[in-house]
Amino acid sequence: MDLATTFCLADTRGSKRMLRHLPSVFQRKFKVALFFLLLLAVLIHMVLDLAFSSGHGSCGCSPQIMDPMGLPPPNSILAVQNKMNLRNLQDFSGSNGSLEKGSHLLEDMLYPDGTNKQGHSFKHQEAKAKTEQAGRSKLAALFDHPLYKIPTPKITEKDKLFVTNPKIKFTLKSSESDDWISSSKADTVLLIRQMSPDTYPSWLRFHIGINRYELYSRHDPNRRVLLEDLAVHKIVRSVQKTGGTQLKVIMTFLNKGQALFKPMKQTRDQETSEDFFYFSDFERHNAEIAAFHLDRILDFRRIPPVSGRRVNITKEIRDITTDRKLLKTFFISPAGNVCFFGKCSYYCSTEHALCGKPDLLEGSMAALLPDEELAKRRSWRSPWRRSYSRSKKAEWELNQNYCTQVRQTPPYNRNSRLLSLIDMTVLDFLMGNMDRHHYETFEKFGNETFLLHLDNGRGFGRHSHDEMSILAPLQQCCIIKKTTYLRLQLLATEPYRLSDVMRESLATDRLSPILFEPHLKALDRRLQKVLDMVERCMKKGHDQEVLLEDQEGQQDVTSEK
């Protein structure tokens, strides 16, 4: 073989080897090129973001329309919020049939002439996005909803519990005899005589604000001040409250205000045993706090303000009490903690003593209502009261037509009393409170007034169980206030989810978290059960026979369905 032939063969073999390696070379170069392209795209994206942020601000707003706080001008916020309210108002669509029916009811309420009802249907997700874009909390959005802006009737002088005039005189509804005056009444009269209305302490402002329709107004600025006073104001006197089944302490503040202290008896995550009877259950301090917030979210406003507080039981109870019986129950535990147990029917013993760490004990502080010498209250036995027996059942538990005879008995045959009682039933069911044996009203207002939702300590005991018997008044009577139903509908939608607004509201309390998370989830589940029950009622009859206007509630409710 000559030299030329040898070179030719070598060249041929080299070509074949190059052809074999050619695909892998192209693959490596392609991967490198792709990597550089992706890197270039990322760099371009980062440069554009930086340029956009420096030119328009973090919120994407023009610098010319931003205020020093970084917010759009008021007109812009108002315009966005008005649009959002209108959209939220007309969107109650959902998988549940009662939600769909609620949307039509709400439209009819707001647009009775049939106008402006087209072209405003939006999904809940969009309503939620609008709320978040406006920087609003769910709770703030809820209280800004038109359903929470329905005005109360015009309040006249006779509709006020107390009346003040420019001469700073006070009209008191008191007993005929002034031979004996309680200390709280004397303090109230003294303050009224010595102070002008603009300098009244928060508790006195609360008392003066009570009227025929509400304990306090929706946006009363004094409410926050009163809650703060309950949580921090100096305590100068403590005595055990007489009566009742469990220990409660009445505390007097330096500004002459008073509050009812219910001490902590169990932790948040302790669930009431299913073997406990409702009448022997613990009274929970956090249930009192949560009940106040839930009552306000439902727009009832029938529970006096309640705040959580950590009390030094040595300095703020033992050392300042004038109650000798209470004082005798104090002792130091083997762990070195200060304990006491008081005198009462249940859980007042050494075995159930309340102990501080070493002397700090948390509890609920509920603002007391005006002294009964100033504003008498009437106690009413609930028609759906339980038997409070281990073996017997009440009549309403055995007779499904029980509501018929209730509606023939004053005051449930006329006015809004039965509807107000069903409001209270809904509140109790959401809390799981089976202990509503009585309720109260202010005597001055007669039968035309709201019901006081007092003593809620046995709520929020079992999150894993929904006690349907609490809803017996709603199930048997099949009526509910239209506005109550619409608010329940609203609280079942994502932008205003009941568990979310409750969680947000409770977070403002000094003892937060107030409720164990499963209790919050139970609120949503129970709310849906209330709506389902109303839906079943509406399937049995016409909507107008089940959903009554508040004004209609003051008329005869005994008409047969």
Residue 366 marked ligand-binding: yes
Residue 246 marked ligand-binding: yes
Which residue type sits at 47? V
* DSSP H or E run through 499: helix 498-506
Residue 369 marked ligand-binding: yes
Q: Is the peptide bond before 112 cis (omega within 30 degrees of 0)?
A: no
Residue 367 marked ligand-binding: yes
Residue 82: exposure state from Cβ atoms within 10 A (0-12, 13-18, ≥19) = exposed
Nearest 5 degrees, angle CA 139-CA 145-CA 150?
120
The DSSP-derived string for 88-100 is HHT----SSHHHH
Neighbour count for residue 517 (Cβ, 10 Å): 13
Residue 265 marked ligand-binding: no
Residue 242: exposure state from Cβ atoms within 10 A (0-12, 13-18, ≥19) = exposed
Which residue type sits at 57? G
Question: What does the alpha-carbon distance between residue 244 and residue 485 come to, in Å, rounded to a whole number?
Answer: 34
Q: Which residues of 366-388 are buried (b: 16+ CB within 10 A; e: fewer)?
A: bbbbbbebbbeeeebebbbebee
Which 8-state DSSP code applies to residue 355? E
Query: Checking phi first, is residue 137 left (phi over 0); if not, alpha (psi -120 to 50) or beta?
Result: beta
* DSSP H or E run through 206: helix 202-209
Active site residues: 435
Those residues whose C-beta lies under 8 Å from the C-beta of residue 78, and which sit 6 or more positions away, are: none
Residue 554 marked ligand-binding: no
Question: What does the alpha-carbon distance between residue 493 and residue 480 come to, in Å, rounded to a whole number?
Answer: 20
Comparing C-alpha atoms, which of 442, 431, 306 is closest to residue 363? 306
Can you list the positions of beta strands (E) in 93-183? 163-164, 170-171
For residues 383 and 413, the answer to whether their CB atoms sit within 8 Å is no
Neighbour count for residue 247 (Cβ, 10 Å): 25
Residue 455 marked ligand-binding: yes
The DSSP-derived string for 512-559 is ---S-HHHHHHHHHHHHHHHHHHHHHHHHS-HHHHEE-TTGGGS----
Residues at the annotated binding site?
A: 246, 262, 283, 366-369, 440, 455
Residues at the annotated binding site for Mn(2+)?
A: 283, 455
Residues at the annotated binding site for ATP?
A: 246, 262, 283, 366-369, 440, 455
